[in-house]
Structure 1
Amino acid sequence: MATAKTRQKILKTFLDLLSQHPYDDVSLPLLAKTADVKLSALRECYSSKRALLEAFAEMIDAAVLDDRDEEMDDQPAHDRLFDVLMTRLDHLAPYKDAVRTLAEAVRRDPALALEFNSIAVRSQRWMLIAAGIDLTGIKGRIVTQGLAMAFGRVVETWLDETDEGLPKTMARLDEELNRGEAWMKRLDSAEKFARPFWEAGKRARSRRSGGEGAEEAAAESAES
């Protein structure tokens, strides 16, 4: 059975290869050879390149969650999320070249972009939780998807920035979060507007269901 050390070595090798080669060129046989492991060990640890990408995202997620600043808990939601996402960029920094390779691959391949999106949405769900923003239901899914797309745009700015202070990246993140907040207000207004109609429809469906049940019961009683 492969050890945690072997898994870590394979993932590190994968990220190193991505920093040097296009995504499509980083094949599983190349990865196994470079990491000096058997293909069977690679299969046991990671069954696909997607599994490796998921492991990378989960590694960054865990680092951000462990590094969460509890002193931010009494700050506005905007500031808490800003801090969490900047922390995420801090943890991505050692892998910036690999992230650049992945970003280029996504721009070329729409199918790959869909795969990346599902991974990004899962990660951003945890970033919201880290910021103390735990949304559920359809609103939660919409907000998480929106945040994944917004963070992707922030990453594009981050990849091009050379200033270690990241002024352009921080400005872009602040802009994206402000835009998201404005959009959330419109979403809340739309939800409040639609709720009476949704509730009326729910009551109508309930009455129809109850009426059908009563008719069935009456029919059964007449037959007996």
Structure 2
Amino acid sequence: MATAKTKQKILQTFLELLAEHPYEDVSLPLIAETAKVKLSDMRSAYSSKLKLVAAFLEQVDTAVLDERDEDMGDQPARDRLFDILMTRIDALAEHRDAVRALQEAAAKDPALALDLNALHVRSQKWMLIAAGIDLSGVKATVVAQGLSIAFGRVVDVWLDEEDEGMPRTMARLDKELDKGSDFMKRLKNVEGLAKGVRSFLRKASGGRKRWKDRQRETDPDTEFDGEAPAGA
């Protein structure tokens, strides 16, 4: 069983290799050889490169959760989310070239893109929690998916920005959050419509049942199944 120290060594080696080589060229044997660990330890620690990516993103999630500003609690949700996502950019900064390699690999490999998307959605659910945005069920997944796509666009800008103040990155994040706010409003409207439809169907179903009950009280021999009687 690989120790926590060995796992961290392997992960760090993976990120360093990824900063210098395309994702597809960074094999598990290469990582093990470079990290100077046995293949059995490599297998015990991370059974695939995707597991290594998942560990990296989890590490970033943890850094953001540790660094979140508790004083932002009384700010609007949009401002809290902006702060959290910029904190995430800061957490990614140390491994910028590795992030670029992952982005480039996903653009060429649809299967990898789907796998990475699932990991990013999981991370964005934690970012929403960190921002104090309480969602659950399908709604949480839908919003996290949208946020994952939006943040990917922000990362694309960040990767090409040379200004340390990141004005273009922040401007893009502002734009994406504005679009996200519009989406949330539409989602609430859809939710309201769906609730109205469900309420109508419940009432209609209840009214139909009451009508059938009255029919039976009036004529116990009547069977109503929603179809016209034979010969009608």
Which aligned runs of 4 or more in structure 1 are off by greater than 3 angstroms?
A: 200-209
Match of 1:164 in 2: 164
SS in 1 for 2:41: helix
Matched residues in 1 for 2:31 and 2:172: separation? 35
1:87 equivalent in structure 2: 87
The separation in 2 between residues aligned to 1:164 and 1:37, in whole angstroms, is: 37
Equivalenced residues, count? 210
Structure 2 equivalent of residue 133 of structure 1: 133
Cα distance in 2 between the residues matched to 1:34 and 1:73: 44
Task: Indicate the structure (1 or 2) with the bigger Cα radius of gyration.
Answer: 2
The answer for unaligned runs of 5 or more in structure 2 is 213-232
List per-residue Cα deviations over 1:165-206 (Å, max 9, x = no partner). Answer: 000000000110011001110111121122121233356678
One-letter code of the match for 1:180?
Answer: G
Q: How does 1:1-224 map to 2 (within 5 A)?
A: 1-202=1-202
Aligned-residue Cα RMSD (Å) equals: 1.7
CA distance in 1, matches of 2:206, 2:34: 62
1:15-35 CA distance string (max 9 Å, x none): 000000000000001010000
User: Match of 2:219?
Assistant: none
Between the aligned residues of both structures, percent identity stands at: 62
User: Measured at CA, do residues 200 and 91 of structure 1 come closer, stay the same or move farther in structure 2, by a change above 3 Å?
Assistant: same
Aligned equivalents of 2:47, 2:205: Cα separation in 1: 46
User: In the alignment, residue 60 of structure 1 is paired with which amino acid?
Assistant: V
Q: Deviations over 1:199-224 (max 9, x none)?
A: 33356678999x9xxxxxxxxxxxxx
CA–CA distance in structure 2, aligned partners of residues 175 and 117 of structure 1: 21
TM-score, normalised to structure 1, is: 0.90
SS in 1 for 2:68: coil
Q: Which runs of 5+ in 1 are unaligned?
A: 212-224
Residue 139 of structure 1 deviates from its aligned partner by: 1.6
Post-superposition offset of 1:81: 0.3
Partner SS for 2:129: helix
Greater share of helix: 1
- Secondary structure at 2:178 match in 1: helix
1:200 and 1:17, CA in 2 relative to 1: closer, same or farther beyond 3 A?
Answer: same
